[in-house]
Structure 1
C-alpha cells in the first residue's frame, strides 16, 4: 500500500515540489527540483519519478525504465533529501504530470508526493500581421503557448543570419513587395519555424505573350495572354487596340484573323491595390497578295518602236514579288516591266503575278496592241504546185500589219496588172510566165513582196525530125538524126526504130551504118506533162550481113552464111573473119563444129572490099556456176530478216529456182526471204536453178542464227538435303550459240560469276533463293529461282522464366533456332543427370536452377541455367504447351495441385492429371 503524502505528513513523511507547474520549449532541457523527508527511523532504499498517481498496492513504473524516456531523464537526487529530476530533449509527448516516489526499509514504507509537477511543452512561433501592404511598417512577434518558467532572451534571424533585436518583437519598416525573406526567432537555443511576409501590392511586371508564336498568317487563330505580378492576383484584365477597348479577360483570342487586325495591343491589369498598362505588342498579320492591278504608261496608241512601261500594284504582307507573263510565258520580274523599242511581236495579253510566301494572285489581263506598217509580206498561189497551160489560178497577197492593210497592188515586172488582195488568172498560157510582186500599204507605211516566178508548164508541140547527110546512105558511112520541139519543162528525146527504142537525146548518130540500120525512125519528145511522136523518117541502107541459125545449142554443128541485100552482077569471092583474123573458107558459108557455151567469138564476111557487121553466136546451155549469197552479210541475229539470193550462168536465163534446207524444199524464186528468223532456221541451204536445157544445185550455204540465251536452268550438286558445313555447287546451263557469261544472284544481290557457284562449308546464312543470269552480246535471261534450304542443329538455345500475375508458380519456356525445327525439348535440374520434364514449356514445382536441351535430327544444344524460386503457398497451376517439329504438332497439358498445411509443416502434392509432351 502506497501512502500519498503532501508536503508534510503527520507521521513525518514529506515531499516538496519547488514548482507545481513547469513550461519549457520542445527540444530543450529542464530540471524538476524537489526535496523530500523520510521518517527518522526509515532508511530510503529506492527513489524514482513516475507519471502515475498510484493508490493501490502495486508498484508504479520507474520513469527511467520507460523506453520513451530512457536516456532522456536523469535522477539527480539522493537517499536523504534531494529528489530533483533532469529532462533532456523534451518532446510534445512529455507534456504530463510527474510524481516522486520513495520506498524505505520498513513495512508499508512506500510514499508518493501528492499534486506532482505539471509539465507543459511549447513551440516557438512567429506571429505575422494578418494583412501586410507594400510600404507598411510591420512588427513580428515571437510567441509561445505558455509562459516559460525562466525569463528568455530572444534572438531574431533573417534568411539564417542573426539580427540585433533581442526582444520578443522585430520591427520592419517599410516592407517591399519584393520582400521574400525568411524570418524566425530562437529562445534557449530553440528555433521557431521560418515565416515569410505575404506582402500585398498592385500589378507590376505586366507582360503580353502571343500563341502560337512566330509568324501570324491571315485566317489563323491567335491568342494574346496577359500576365503580371500582383498580390492578391489580378482581378481584371482589359485589352486595348490603340486606344479602343477590344476585350476583357486574361486571354484575348482572335479567330480567323485578317489584315485589319494588325496593330498595337496593350493589356491593363488591376486588383484592389491598383492597375498598370503593359508595353504595346505589335501584331503583324501576314497575308497573300490581293487587289492586284496593272497600269500602262504612256496611255493611248502604241506604235512600233516606242517604249512602254507596265506597272503592277497589290496589297500583301510581307512585301510581294512581281512576275510578268505574256500568255503563259514569263517575260519579266519586278514592279515595273519596261519594253523599249516595242515591236509587233510584243502585242498580246499581259498579266502580273504578285506573290509572297503565303500565296499569290494574278492580275486581270492587259491587252497590248502595237500598231505597225506592213511587214512579212508574202505572195501565195492557189492551187499550189505546177501550173499547167489552160488552168486557172489565184495569186493572194498577205502581210502582217496593224491596222490591217488597206491597199494591195499587183505588178508583173514593172507593169501594174491588178489591184486587190487576190489576183485571178483564167485559162493561163505560156505568155503569162514571169515574175509577179504585190505592194501592201496602211496608214503607217507600205512594203513590196519578194518576186514570185510564174512558170507555165505545157507538153511538147511542133515536133520535127531531120537527117544529115541527106541522100543515099551507103553501108559503113555515118548518119545523124536531129529532133526539135517546143515544151516546158524541157523535153527528153527518145529514138524509135519500128517499135524498138534505139537511142536518147536531141540527136542520134549511127557510125559505120549497116543494113541492119535501115528502116523507119521516129522521134518521141516528152516531158512530165505529155509526149508527141514525130512523123516517120525512112532510112534505106545498102549492106552485107552474116546469117546465123535461129537456135544454136551447145555441141551443135553450125553453118554461117554471107548474104547481100541484092544480087551481085559478078561472082564474088568471099572472105571470112573471126575476131578480126581471116579464115581459110572462101565460099558464102562458114562451118563450125561442136560449138561451146564459151564461144564469144565475133564473125563477119567481106565481098569486094565491103565488110558485113560482126555477129556472135547465141549458144544456148543449161545452168552452171550456181552460187548463193546472203543479205545482210555478217552475223545473223534472231528476230531479224535475211534474204538468200541465187545466181547462175545459163542461156536462156534460169526459169526456175528451188530452195532446199537439207533435203527439204523450203521455197521458190531467185530470192528466199526469212522474216523474224529464229534459231530453228539455222542449217545448210542450197539453191537448184533450171532452164529448158538442164538444172544444177549450188554449193551449201551454212546459216548460223545467233540469239540471246534461252532455256536457262539451275541444278544443285549434291542433290538431296543440304546440311550446314557441307559443300554445295550450283550449276547454270542455257541454250546459246554465242559465248555466254553467268552471274549468280541471291535475292537481288550479286554473289558470284561463272557457270558454277560453289559454297564450301555452307551455313544458315546461305539459305534463300538463288538465280542465274545467262548473258551474251545479244541479250540475257534470268533462271527460275532455286531455293536453298540449309539444315542445321539447334543453336541460340535459351530458357526463360515467366510467372503469371495471379500465380506463385513459374513456367519455364525453351526457345531455339534450328532447321528443321526442334523435335525434342528436355528439361534438367542442375546437379541431376536425368530429365525432369520435356516439351517446349515446363512448370517448375521446386526451387532450383533449370536448363533445357533442344534436339533435332542434326544435333542438340544446352541452354544456360535459369534460377527458379517457388513459393510453397497453395497453388493451382495449369501449363499448356505446343511444340512443332518435323511437320508434327503435339499438344499437352499438365495440371498440378499443391496444398501447404501450416500446422503439421507438411506439404502434400496430388497430381490430378498428366499428359507428357
Structure 2
C-alpha cells in the first residue's frame, strides 16, 4: 500500500474526505510560530474538513502575556465565523496550543488558503500564520473514456473522475440507483441508453457523483437538489428532486424515509410517507411539470431528522435506493449575535449566526433595545457602538424565536431575556414565567408583566397595563421581582390564559420596547387519539397518541394509564398494545399526573331495549334503542336476523311508525368506533 493510500484510508476512518496531505509546514519569526499538519487538502463537495495547527508566541512574565483571540481567516475574510458565507458551517476547537478549524458541507466556493490568526496583549499583538493551508474542493463525475469492440458487442469504459485523482482507492459503482460492484476508478460494461451510472469513494458513499446518462440524453435517474438540509424545529422544509424515465410513463411515485422501515408491512418494500402516522397532516407532495417533485414537511420536530428518498416506477422498471437521498437535520432555534469590533473600537459588525447553515436567500430582522429596526434584512449589520444598547436578530418568518439580546459594548446594557420562549401547561395547573432584565445606568423606576392580547382592556391600546390589575386574572396572579429577575405566577389555568406574556420596565427616560416576543404560554387539555388499529375477534391492536396543542410531542414525557393503572414502560406520546372490551385508556404529562385526559373506552357489546315495553299491537309506534359507553362516540347499525338486508338503520334508534305483524322477528345492533366493532344480544319482537 502506498503512502498516499495509507493517508487516504486514515482520513476515511476519521470521517473526513481528505485526498492529499503533504508534510507538516511551519512558519515563524521572533518567537511566533504556526505549524500546520498539512499544506494542501483536497476534499469532496458536501463533506466535512478539519484543518489543524499548533502555535507558539513570545511570552513575558511582567506583564504576563495572555492570548486574547484565536481565529481562522482567508485572504478575503478575517474571521470565518463572522462571515455569512460560512454561517452555521464553521467551528473552532482549541486545546492548549493546538487549534482546529472544522468546515462542514464544503462547496466549491470554499476552495481557498486558510490561515490561523493569533492575538495577544502586547504591542505586536497579532500574528498570521502565512502562507497557510490550501483547501481544494472537488466533486466526483462519471466520464465516458472510450468504447471497446469485443465479442458480444460494444463495451464502454467509464471513469470516476475528480481533480484530486486518488486512483489507487476503491470505488462503489451504481446503476439506476442500485449498487452493482466495488472496483477501481474505471468500470467496463455494456451500456444501455436507459441506464444511468454513478460512483462514490468507498467509505464515503454519502457523497456520490450525480447519476449520468452515458448512452444518450434521456435515461432513468433521480437527482436531489440538496444532499443535506438543516431546519429549525417548528418550521417547514421543502425537499426536492428531479427525475426522469427513459421511455415508459411513470405509473407511481412517492417519498419515503428508510429510517421508518420498522413501520412498513414489509421491511424491503418502502411505503409512502403520507401514510405514516408520524407525519399525519404535516406532509404534502408538490408535483410540477418537467419531472420535479417536492416533499414539504410542516411543523418540524427533532424526530423528523432523517434521510428522505424518492422512488418511482415506470412499466417494469423501478428506481432503487442504494444511493443516498437528502438528509434533514432539525434543531431547536439557536440564533445568536456575533460581534466583530473594528480597529477604531467604535464601529462593529454584527452577524446573525446559527449552528444550522441557513439558505443564502434567508432574510433577517434586527432589533435595538427590543425595538424592530426597519430596513435591515441582511445576515450582517454594521453598528456604531453604544454602551447602553443591546441587539437581537431573528429569521424573517420566525420572529417568534429571536436570538437573546447582547450588549455590544461592555457587560451591562438595556435588555430583557426570557427564561423560556414557550411553556406548555395543563389546564387547571399553575405556571411560572420568568425573565432577567438590566438597565445600563438609571435606577429602574417601574416594571410589570402584561399580555398584548388584553390590549382591548387598556385605557390606551399603545400603553400596556399591569396584568395584576386585569379582572380576568383576579386572585390568580403573583409577581416576585428581585436582583434583576422577575417571575410571573398564574394559578388555576384556563384555556383563555393561552397567550404571549411580556415584561416591561422603565429607567429614567428609557423604556424597554416590546417588538421582541415574550414567553408564549399554551394551556392544553390532553386527548387520547387512535392513529392506527387492527380489529380482531376478541381484541383490538392499536397505536394511540396522547395529543395536546403543545406542538412537537418529543419535547415532553407522558404517563399512560389502563383502567386507572399506570403503565410503567411507556413515556412517549405514542402507545401500542392489545386492547380488550371494557378497557379505559388515558394519559397525562409526566409531572402533572393529577391533570389526566378523558378516558378512551374500548367498546363493550352494546345494550338494546324496546319502547314501549309489554305487548306490541299492530299499527302502534315502536322504537328499538341501541347504546354503549363509547369514547370516541360510536356509530350504530340495526339488523334483522335471517333477513338479507344490509342494514335497516344507521342510527342509534330503529323506529317503526306503524308496526306490522310481518315485522315480528329477532333484531340486533352493531356499535363501531375507532377501537373496534361489537354486536349486541338479540331482542325479540312479537306483533299481535
Which TM-score tier does this pair reach, normalised by the shorter chain?
under 0.3
Normalized per residue, the structure richer in strand is 1
Radius of gyration: which is bigger?
1
Higher helix share: 2
* TM-score (normalizing by structure 1): 0.19
| TM-score, length basis structure 2 | 0.24
Q: Which has the higher contact order (CA 8 A, sep 6+)?
A: 2
